[in-house]
Structure 1
């Protein structure tokens, strides 16, 4: 059967698009800079960033200082599999639905593991939604764009060099100009300048953190009994409200952990308001986030709640599951925050751009 001109053109366009796509992939592979600290082929290093999940991601992010394409994949591996790892740890505290979420997260992690390794080995520019943006901020440059090897200019024919003019007697040569500051010092100065421009916003953020910590401190220590179920009893025309608190006496085991975390948070942010420095803020925020995660995990372990005071059984079960899910989400949020801030701090230290000045 003979093909019509329209069918021939359609087949031609499809084949042309397929060949062009293949050539583009090959070009991208060739354009990835082979220059890297580890001495590996970039696509192999990219695969290894995902092979050991977030562990190899941290290794390559810390050791690799030249190739931003490899560093991006290392950072993306840390964020993706670090978050999944923390979620798996915290989901174990949730009854009934916890194992279901564990299975879903496990399958998702396995699929992402295979896909990301294949994409990195093929040298493709692949960035996960949202996660890739976080990885780019960690690396400090658009990580999905590989390092390109600059073209080597053709060798120019050396022109004869004229002899320098003779110095007239009695005249001294001017001293050479001062050398430009090192690149790291320039980066550090620019970071500090940028940091100083946003001081007002940082002071507001620290003030809000202090105020919120004080509110939590007062509520959980003096008014936690008001967190409960309120039942109404009607006798004639009189309505009597009865309060059934959700907290058990086990809350006394958790309060010292909470009070320590909130006290350190208040002191830390007060120091940041008075003595605002780039690295100091990074360290304080990392410490407070770590303490926050420890507080949430301790609350999940003790779980000083009694929802049996709710008169409906389904409401009791739903409230308990909802409370555990909420605490797990808060814990995962703290975990991701810790991971991102720790990696950014290590990157700054590795580059020599982190200091207290």
Structure 2
């Protein structure tokens, strides 16, 4: 999102990263030694070389190639310059990814690190200035079914990252793969550093926007869209059942996350916040109010994701599907939205007609920003 508060964590991060870019500094991790390619070969890749297996051109900030060295496959991520996301975070996402890969490799080298961070892809080589990241190829597919294993593995990884002071904003379907045994994370352009003992996330000043947290990010960027498919195919009862399952798994993961950060000296504000999140979920699940929680979380997820797409001018047909859900919710369930406390950031004070008008304006912009 665009940053207007220059004291925010995002503004401070952007200032540091833009200064690094303009200062000509280099950041490199690992080596290409033992591989049959030089950095110049990868930078000049056309895509028709015999060792290029496949090319994926849908990424907003990078092109992705599958390479074969004669023995195994590798993933090459090559920075797209300029990025298709037209804001500072999009323009600096490749630098941010290299920075975070340095952090992640450090975590993997700790005792027990390879097992603890098994959901995080390894990095063989990364260079910011060369615009290259080389990783082992993940033999998996985008997650098609969010069952107990997939949800549990994703949330466990997300909560562990949070405990290490790494907040991932973009758990979108294109950033996760499932090989049938493990859900993998491999894209870290929007993984930012913060202090989990004193802060909730990297929004605002870190301690003033409690809406954002690991389960929320998963729901907003991926799970809520999948639930739209479930509801269209199998009905709202099936979608609600899947939602309840995800919340039960999230409760377990958040219990462990809370215990970990408490043992590391987290302040009362952070612990009270985590307690409040869990209490809300637990009350809804145990007290028979899961339908209201489902409505509220769905509204939040769809609206936040739409506004994120609009901010980056990177809208897709999914953006329009989310907007259709939001428009229907305002038209048919406005009173339920208010009763569930679903409306936020001033929308709770607006009439149904005003909300409908603003959604119509978003729809017009989303049509103009289709990639």
TM-score (norm 2): 0.25
Larger Rg: 1
RCO greater where, 1 or 2, for CA within 8 Å and sep 6 or more?
1
